[in-house]
A and B are shown apart, each in its own frame.
Chain A
Amino acid sequence: MSLLPPTAPPPLISVQNLSLTGHRGRGPETPIVTNVSFNVAEGEMLALIGESGSGKTSIALALTGYARQGCRISGGTLRVAGHDVLHMNARELHAFRGMTIAYIAQNAGAAFNPALPLMEQVIEPALVHHIMPRKEAVEQAIALFELMALPSPHTIGARYPHECSGGQLQRIMAAMALITEPEVVIFDEPTTALDVTTQIEVLEAFRLAMRQCGFTGVYVTHDLAIVAQMADRAVVLKNGTVQEEGSTGQILTAPTQPYTQALVAASEPHTRNHDPAPASAPLLDVRDILVGYGGTTPEGRPVHTILNQVSLPVLAGETMGIIGESGCGKSTLIRAIAGIQPWSAGSMMFEGQPLAADINLRSPQQRQHLQLVAQNADLVLNPAMTVQATLRRVLTFYGEDASDNAIRHILDMVRLPAALASRLPTQLSGGQKQRVNLARALAARPRLVLCDEITAALDTVVAAAILDLMMELKRELSLSWLFVTHDLHALRSVCDHVAVLYAGHCVEFSTITALQTAPHHPYARKLEASVPEMRPDWLDNILRQHGLKQDKSGPAPASGCSYMPRCPVAAATCALTPPPVWQAPSGAFIACHRTAQELS
């Protein structure tokens, strides 16, 4: 399948020397994509791999004959299913889009009209192209909803977009794309915005749809593990040019170009934390922290809880990892430790002293020794201040040496050249900004650095380099890190201890070695099983094992285990009493009604 024999029928999609240009505001036109050529045979799935700014989405949109405001298709030829895309008039384009080629966008939450019920939008392609009457279209949509394993497929169409979860919307959008049975379907990073446990449900649904509907596809992504599951062939893009093209297997196992090699190397899970921290006294001790909002109940508890009695020790010189899906309370925990999120019960000790909830009540030394590095470097660095002005202010504020030498030394610590000192944040790349962000924290000579998803907004290769830097700094400065992430690979590669958070509860707490061995909390297990692996048969194996499951969800019981509605091993008691915490033979602490034997 990887190489077409010379006698093969002409490809369904043929892109020759495609060039796209665009301009920002009234600025000059700059190339986005230059001279990109590739073919896709009928029934094949091609992956467009690239990082932000590689032009992959622009190419995907160009296949439908569309360029965003300010962009222009400036050259080349595009043939899709016998249509010369660049020479169609408006009427032909309308007939072509949604009928011959369908598009699945990255952010389903934004891609649905908020004012129309979902069913109206799903059947719209079928209605505007006059391929079936309304009644039939609705039936077809419901059949697709069933195929996509959506809950209550007969009534979900009556909902509005804001009444569905992100994973559901993504699958509904796939149903909308497939309702006209198009020859070509474009997937534009359809799972990037989703949690990993939701992503796998969506991927499973896509995989089944591919088997049943048999369309030709283009899958745009930056995640090589997903490429391994979904695509037959792949094109690697960088800065709008093709770096490498080949079968998925060849690209992932034997890349020839240096860029692809770097990309593959950064995606491979590997351990960075080579010298685990020695056992020591806790530097930070978080005890039974309770955070909530919406007033208090008569019992003195918040009406809605975000963090429910979370306890967490961070040892001196170790890296503590916190993992969980969006909304599990991990950012709230970081903010509480940083002193910018009030808590209603519980206590914290830092360097043997109690830590006040309000940052303004903490001692200057506590403020200095506890530093926060936030996710988005664009927001952390003052756009009006140069790198050295930012660092110098921190140094002078804490009474440290603020000479040019000291600044050079700090930049050196985060492996940045001294020449960057006079630059403004806008003149730095994403990775450089995150390094300056780290430097800003390190300038205070902290004992504990809180990292809130610091690699989430970065490209794979850049993120890998930041993780490497973290571990080098840990060794050099004997720092402690509190590392919050949703990325299990990153967590495994840098942490000594791991806490798994679900709905504001710490459901599992273990050493990194214990994380490799059973037993596990059902959620930790689900998390583990959901992270895509580079093996191409990974997804198929999962599907073969249990088929496509309806995603379970529902309101958490008022008292009892909050994971109960989604738990595959839930029992009657789970809904009634809060789960007990017990220690497994591996040393892990698990909060579950089931015993170690049952969970192994």
Chain B
Amino acid sequence: MMLSRPLHRLLPLRQTPVLLALFWLLLAVTGPLIAPCPPGEVVSSTVFAPISSTHLLGTDYLGRDVLSRLLFGTSSTVLLCAVATVMACSAGTFLGIMAALKQGLTDTLLSRFMDGVISIPSLLSGLVAVATFGSSVPVLVLAMACIYMPGSYRTSRMLALSIVRKDFILSARMRGEKTGYLVLREILPNMTGPVLADVGLRFIYAVRLLSNLSFLGVGLQPPQTDLGSLTRENLLGLVYGAPAVIAPALTIAILTVGLNLALDGKGQRQ
């Protein structure tokens, strides 16, 4: 019965944003495995060395291999943000659909609460969370999940509301269908595209937030690294145009801009 639906609706694999996301995830998982040096080891006496054959992206402010550190940093940025985004969006989408379906008091209370949370700028919430709980990986992930959940809730609720108002939901309800069927078969299949696009956007926001926090020195703490902290620790190399600072900065730019461009192109075609 599932197969009676065309495959492309179930597997949006041919779409650029999905391919891009898969690429980054793959890099995040395999990156630490293929890194040439351990990330914390000082391997050269020259600091801020330029690109060379031994150190493909030169060395950093302590003489460590930049490529290895970049691979580890990319891995933590992508994985932490991906986990946070998935948590935020699954909770947000679930609550959003429920609010749209139940309406009434449930909807009002949830929406009021989410509006309250959303009215605090994200960087501020991040800072407050770090100030209170310290900056460990679970705190950062949970904080990002909480910060971006209301946005996902809002998007899903709007999408679900426009679907719930349609007559096919009405006729399913008149038939007496259960909530589970309504959500899984009637509502969700009609909002997968926009919800996935929203996940992509929230992921970009998460990368921005994590990088900003790390850049400010209150994100991921050494010895762990991410793209923001890599940029921060090598900021002095800016004067020499060292790859140590340019590489992580460029990686963030490619990650966020690339994904956003792909999502934007997708959105315009629809």
Contact = CB atoms under 8 A, between A and B. Distances in A.
Nearest to A360: B176
B269 A422 contact: no
A367 B168 CA distance: 15
Contacts, number: 62
A283 to B, nearest CB: 18
Contact of B175 (A26, A340, A388, A394): A394
B174 A384 contact: no
Question: Of residues A360, A374, A384, A398, which shows the largest number of chain B Cβ atoms within 10 Å of its Cβ?
Answer: A384
Contacts of B9: 384
B167 A389 contact: no
Interface in A23-58: 25-26
A54 B269 CA distance: 25
Interface in A248-285: none
A367 B4 contact: no
B6 A424 contact: yes
Nearest to A26: B269
A376 interface: yes
A379 B174 contact: no
Interface string B229-270: 000000000000000000000000000000000000000111
B168 A381 contact: yes
A367 B5 contact: no
B269 A374 contact: no
B119 interface: no
A374 B167 contact: yes
A372 B190 contact: no
A338 interface: yes
Contacts of B268: 25-26
B190 A382 contact: yes
B189 interface: yes
- Report, as a range, how many residues of chain A touch the other chain: 20 to 34
Contacts of A382: 168, 186, 189-190
A376 B5 contact: no
Question: Of residues B6, B168, B270, which shows the largest number of chain A Cβ atoms within 10 Å of its Cβ?
Answer: B168
A32 to B, nearest CB: 20
Contacts of A389: 1, 4-5
B128 interface: no
Given A25-B269, A397-B177, A383 B190 contact: yes
Contacts of A388: 4
Contacts of B173: 359
Contacts of B170: 340, 372, 374
A157 interface: no
Nearest to B6: A424
Given A388-B4, A389-B5, A380 B174 contact: no
Question: Of residues B9, B176, B189, B269, which shows the largest number of chain A Cβ atoms within 10 Å of its Cβ?
Answer: B176
Nearest to A382: B168
B102 interface: no
- Report, as a range, how many residues of chain B touch the other chain: 20 to 34
A384 B189 contact: yes
A110 interface: no
B171 to A, nearest CB: 6
Nearest to A441: B171
Contacts of B166: 379-380
A338 B270 contact: no
A379 B175 contact: no
A440 interface: yes
A84 to B, nearest CB: 35
Given A25-B270, A26-B268, A384-B5, A367 B175 contact: yes
B174 A339 contact: yes
Nearest to B177: A397
Interface in B167-188: 167-168, 170-171, 173-177, 185-186
A105 B95 CA distance: 43
Nearest to B2: A389
Contact of B4 (A398, A422, A440): A422
Contacts of B1: 389, 392
A367 B170 CA distance: 13
A380 B5 contact: no
Nearest to B190: A384
Contacts of A372: 170-171, 174
Nearest to A25: B269
A340 B167 CA distance: 11
B168 A380 contact: yes
Nearest to B186: A382
Question: Of residues B167, B185, B268, which shows the largest number of chain A Cβ atoms within 10 Å of its Cβ?
Answer: B167
17 contacts: A25-B269, A340-B174, A359-B173, A367-B174, A367-B175, A372-B171, A372-B174, A379-B166, A380-B166, A384-B5, A384-B190, A385-B189, A389-B1, A389-B4, A392-B1, A397-B175, A424-B6
Given A340-B174, A382-B189, 20 more contacts: A25-B269, A25-B270, A26-B269, A339-B174, A360-B176, A364-B176, A372-B170, A374-B167, A376-B167, A380-B166, A380-B171, A382-B186, A382-B190, A383-B190, A384-B189, A385-B5, A386-B6, A389-B1, A393-B185, A397-B175
Q: Which 6 A-B pairs have the closest CB atoms?
A: A384-B189, A380-B167, A379-B167, A382-B168, A374-B167, A379-B166
Interface of A: 25-26, 338-340, 359-360, 364, 367, 372, 374, 376, 379-386, 388-389, 392-394, 397-398, 422, 424, 440, 444
